[in-house]
Amino acid sequence: MSELRIAVVGAGQMGADHINRITERIVGARVSVVVEPDVARGAAAAALAPGAVALTNFADALKRDDIDAVLVATPGQFHETVLLPALAAGLPILCEKPLTQDPVSSLRVLEAEQATGKQLIQVGFMRRFDREYAQLRALIESDRTGALLALHCAHRNPTTGEGYTDSMMITDSVVHEIDVVRFLTDSPIVSVEVKRPKRNSLAPSWLQDPILVLLETESGILADVEMNVNVQFGYQVRTEAVFEKGIAEIGRTAGLTLWQDGQYGGAEHTTFKTRFADAYDAQIQRWVTATKKGEIDGPSAWDGYLVAAACEAGVRAQETGERVEVEYVPRPAFYSHELVTSVTV
């Protein structure tokens, strides 16, 4: 296969960004079909990829003979309705996070994937492809600073839209920390607790923002997460790792810092699209390369299920104010091979 022909399902902000990425920067692939129910949006997105066809229905896309793989970029509540028919068609899939919005539907997807006899789904937890996270994971594995004891995480967005709800603080935002904490510690999350600090008066009236989330891993590591989605000043993702013999931090201010006239300052990201641009590029390129070999090279559907289960516990903790234990089903033998994903440091 000289060129992987991709159907991108969903042409919103994320889908359009991926279409542009595949067209401009990814080697060995092109977008052949864009599926988007909004006709005008779909046409505009398809115009980003020369030769791409815009359709409003995924079922119509599956009837075509110019699709080798599927990239799912719809809102999370629609993922299952795309994943199940794509699996039935035997197509490799890159699914933006989350796999699905709850563990029950994620298990249905796992069952459908197992029925194909082959792992076809890679889930888009792009932080695993970020160079700084890869460096931090390598430091943890090296034992150079002793054992990892704790993680302090901050995830800050400038503002939120009208459709953003309290539960989405967990399922749409903290979801990234839930995956990356497991990635860094190589240990599943066993409990979630959510605390509510003083509310930001600049947050929408219906939203409790910020929140503090405490994640506990099976290995005993605690990770606290400040989830703060109305900070106004920019987009910021930071992680501090506390070791027996040192402390490491990633995610500091982007780019040049200037000292002048008794002051200093620099730039800060305003969106995830710049902060994680290289990680997204690496994720898509590695998915394309692996897919052409009949493999996956990233977080699996099982990883997606584990995150969905932890997110469900997180939402319950958010609602009750109590520590909630995460409930998992046993890992199927089909997913017994653990995929480790990071870029070369």
Tell me, what CATH number does 72's domain have? 3.40.50.720
Residues 225 and 251 in one domain: yes
Residues 193 and 248 in one domain: yes
Q: CA-CA distance, 183 to 166, in Å (whole number)?
A: 25
**How confident is the model over 229-243, as pLDDT tens digits?**
999 999 999 999 999
321 is a domain residue: no
Query: Which CATH number does the domain housing residue 171 bear?
Result: 3.30.360.10
Residues 262 and 158 in one domain: yes
Report residue 37 as tokens.
């129910």
Residues 21 and 119 in one domain: yes
> What is the model's pLDDT at position 336?
84
Q: How far is CA 46 from CA 23, 68, 71, in A?
A: 11, 17, 14
> What is the model's pLDDT at position 337?
63
Residues 136 and 263 in one domain: yes
Q: CA-CA distance, 116 to 54, in Å (whole number)?
A: 28
> What is the model's pLDDT at position 254?
67
Which residue blocks in the chain are alpha helix, DSSP H?
A: 13-24, 39-46, 58-62, 79-88, 103-116, 131-142, 168, 175-185, 272-275, 277-292, 301-320
Report residue 323 as tokens.
């520590």
54 within 8 A of 45, measured Cβ to Cβ: yes
Burial pattern 281-305, b for ≥16 Cβ within 10 A else e, equals bbbbbbbbbebbeeebbbbbbbbbb
> What is the model's pLDDT at position 260?
72
Strand partners, 194: 213
When divided into structural domains, the chain yields a total of: 2
Residues 132 and 271 in one domain: yes
Reply yes or no on whether the pLDDT at 317 is more than 60: yes
290 is a domain residue: yes
Residues 93 and 147 in one domain: no
159 is a domain residue: yes
Reply yes or no on whether the pLDDT at 343 is more than 60: no
Q: Which domain holds residue 161?
A: 128-275
Dihedral sign computed on CA atoms, order 172, 23, 83, 39: positive
Report residue 231 as tokens.
């900070």
Residues 181 and 107 in one domain: no
340 is a domain residue: no
Dihedral sign computed on CA atoms, order 111, 117, 122, 128: positive
Report residue 290 as tokens.
């692996």
Is pLDDT larger for residue 60 or for residue 264? 60
Judge if pTM exceeds 0.85: yes
270 is a domain residue: yes
Task: Tell me the average pLDDT across 191-217.
Answer: 97
**How confident is the model over 119-130, as pLDDT tens digits?**
999 999 999 999
pLDDT tier for residue 340 given thresholds of 50, 70 and 90: very low
Report residue 258 as tokens.
């200037």
Share of the chain above pLDDT 90, in %: 89
Residues 205 and 292 in one domain: no
pLDDT tier for residue 142 given thresholds of 50, 70 and 90: very high
Residues 271 and 132 in one domain: yes
